[in-house]
Amino acid sequence: MPNTILVGSQWGDEGKGKIIDVLTSQADVIVRFQGGSNAGHTVIAEGKKYVLHLIPSGILHPGKLCVIGNGVVMDPLDLLKEIDMLREQGIDLEGRIFISDRTHMVMQWHRALDSADEARRSDAKKIGTTGRGIGPAYGAKMGRTGFRVGDMLSPGFLDNVRSDTEDANKILVSMGAPELDVEEMVATYKSASDLLNKYITDSVSFINNADRDGKSILLEGAQGTMLDIDFGTYPFVTSSNPTAGGACTGSGLSPRKIDRVVGVIKCYTTRVGAGPFPTELFDEMGEQLRAVGGEFGATTGRPRRCGWFDAVVGRYSAMVNGVDFWAMTKLDVLDGMETVKICTAYERDDGKIYDVFPADLSVLSRCKPVYEEMSGWMSKTSDITRYEDLPLKARAYVERLVELIGGQLGILSVGPARETTLRLGL
């Protein structure tokens, strides 16, 4: 398989985990390139459900090598839990997990600061973060005060943990949050560094050597385009670049080594957390999408906000990521709908039409979606194995979505399991 970047094209939870798992059979090395344990990537393999937060979703395929890239912020305690979970499920991890020495770490005080920051924001300003310490950890990285995984190997590591916990405690107290126990933190990181030591790798050389040796690299994005710190609905975003550019900075693989970009996109839209969502449904149709689609957060269990497919978002994502192929998911969730709607543009209250996603949220708040309506197919699609066998109305819907957002359909997913995947050139 050519070197491939896979990104989320909406507000996350598009089904990236499932598609990565499917594509892994043709890849050799799978690299997570950004985000942290805010991600929840679900894979259903041989009837068992796995939710992965930090380890690439390729881990369920024996023999495939999985790298946590430099662009990730990794909470060592979450990673250890995930390793235990996979071991308990009988997954052989021996020699298969590599953590970049350049990966920044989410420290316990980053989590505490994340929660304290959310708690003190007014309702209108709450982001609804996952509470996994993502913003403070990337803040420390950019502020050049972060801890990198490679630092665990240095003799001064625990002294630095001690002094940084003390510093963080002063800030936590000023925010009205409880202090962390300094010696407990030192002991926690001592034990984490002992356990994680063997996974630490010069990932930049590792990935580039794999590429030189003709191995196929699959770069796994977390979150989605509309949560990107630069391209998303700022400030209601995450603190990294989940878009295709982030795959190169987050792995050290040059843009010249990338062969194609796959955008994962749901046949409708969801969002978890706060922020603008033009096609959100507040009626029983939204309830139906949530119930049928099982739209509850894989990381926090929060109900996801649901709405119609938004082609403005799709087109924007195609542009920002340079999507070659779409992996379209969850068509089956619409099986019972008599009619389906597609947002083709936004209309501002003064009549101005937007077909590109605006940066200014105050513009967005004056916009309403322009919908076109199509007839639903009212029949089960999840046991169909060939695209040609889909009901004509379902095909018409999918083909209209692709027409509106451009690019080519590579995969159509009609259920959560590996088997419920229609391959069309990907």
Q: What letter does residue 130 receive in the DSSP assignment?
A: -
How far apart are CB 23 and ligand IMO at their closest, in Å? 16
CB 132 within 8 A of CB 39: no
Indicate whether 13 belongs to the interface with ligand GDP (CB under 6 A).
yes
How far apart are CB 127 and ligand IMO at their closest, in Å? 5
Nearer to ligand GDP, 210 or 219 (CB): 219
Among 7, 86, 99, 134, binds ligand IMO (CB under 6 A): 134
Q: What burial class does residue 183 get, using C-beta atoms within 10 Å of its C-beta: 0-12 exposed, 13-18 middle, 19+ buried?
A: exposed
Among 4, 223, 251, 321, binds ligand IMO (CB under 6 A): 223
Around Cβ 83, how many Cβ atoms within 10 Å?
19
Around Cβ 85, how many Cβ atoms within 10 Å?
15
Indicate whether 228 belongs to the interface with ligand GDP (CB under 6 A).
no
Indicate whether 238 belongs to the interface with ligand IMO (CB under 6 A).
yes
Nearer to ligand IMO, 353 or 361 (CB): 361
- To the query of whether residue 61 is one of the catalytic residues in this protein, the response is no
Q: How far apart are CA 108 and CA 94, in angstroms?
A: 28
- Piece of 154-162, 182-190, 330-338, 359-367 that binds ligand GDP (CB under 6 A): 330-338
Among 40, 146, 307, 415, binds Mg ion (CB under 5 A): 40
Q: What letter does residue 311 receive in the DSSP assignment?
A: H
Q: How far apart are CA 165 and CA 149, in angstroms?
A: 17
Indicate whether 21 belongs to the interface with Mg ion (CB under 5 A).
no
Which residue in this structure is represented by tokens 């999408």?
289
Indicate whether 273 belongs to the interface with Mg ion (CB under 5 A).
no
Residue 272 binding partner per list ligand IMO, Mg ion, ligand GDP, none, with a CB distance cut-off of 5 to 8 Å that depends on partner kind: ligand IMO
**Amino acid symbol at 159:** D
How far apart are CB 76 and ligand IMO at their closest, in Å? 17
Query: Cα-atom radius of gyration of the chain, to the nearest Å?
Result: 21
CA nearest to 23, candidates 209, 221, 306 = 221
Nearer to ligand IMO, 304 or 315 (CB): 304
Concatenating the DSSP letter of every residue in 65-78 gives EEEE-TTBEE-HHH
Position of minimal CB gap to ligand GDP: 42
How far apart are CB 9 and ligand IMO at their closest, in Å? 11
Q: What letter does residue 287 receive in the DSSP assignment?
A: H
Among 6, 13, 136, 323, binds ligand IMO (CB under 6 A): 13
Indicate whether 18 belongs to the interface with ligand GDP (CB under 6 A).
yes
Indicate whether 294 belongs to the interface with ligand GDP (CB under 6 A).
yes
Task: Calculate the dihedral angle through the C-alpha atoms of 262, 265, 267, 269, rounding to the nearest 10 degrees.
Answer: -170
Indicate whether 13 belongs to the interface with Mg ion (CB under 5 A).
yes
Nearer to ligand GDP, 235 or 294 (CB): 294
Nearer to ligand GDP, 164 or 228 (CB): 228
Indicate whether 330 belongs to the interface with ligand GDP (CB under 6 A).
yes
- Alpha helix (H) residue ranges in 130-202: 134-142, 157-174, 182-196
- Piece of 8-16, 74-82, 253-261, 376-384 that binds ligand IMO (CB under 6 A): 8-16
Residue 132 binding partner per list ligand GDP, Mg ion, ligand IMO, none, with a CB distance cut-off of 5 to 8 Å that depends on partner kind: ligand IMO
Tokens of 29: 């090395």
**Catalytic, out of 41, 53, 61, 104:** 41
Q: How many CA atoms lie within 13 A of 263 on its CB side?
A: 31
Contacts (Cβ under 8 Å, ≥6 apart) of 358:
346, 364, 367
Among 4, 5, 10, 15, binds ligand GDP (CB under 6 A): 15
Long-range contacts of 290-293 (CB under 8 A, 24+ apart): 292/333, 292/336, 293/268, 293/330, 293/333
Among 44, 265, 272, 333, binds ligand IMO (CB under 6 A): 272
CA nearest to 51, candidates 297, 284, 267 = 297
CB 312 within 8 A of CB 345: yes
Among 136, 273, 286, 293, binds ligand IMO (CB under 6 A): 273
Nearer to ligand IMO, 231 or 377 (CB): 231
Around Cβ 170, how many Cβ atoms within 10 Å?
10
- To the query of whether residue 283 is one of the catalytic residues in this protein, the response is no
Q: What letter does residue 283 receive in the DSSP assignment?
A: S
- Piece of 167-175, 216-224, 321-329, 368-376 that binds ligand IMO (CB under 6 A): 216-224
In degrees and rounded to multiples of 5, residue 268 shows phi and psi of -145, -165
Q: How far apart are CA 83 and CA 19, in angstroms?
A: 21
| Site for ligand IMO, rule CB under 6 A | 8, 11-13, 38-41, 127-130, 132, 134-135, 222-224, 227, 238-239, 272-273, 298
| Site for Mg ion, rule CB under 5 A | 13, 40, 298
Catalytic site positions: 13, 41
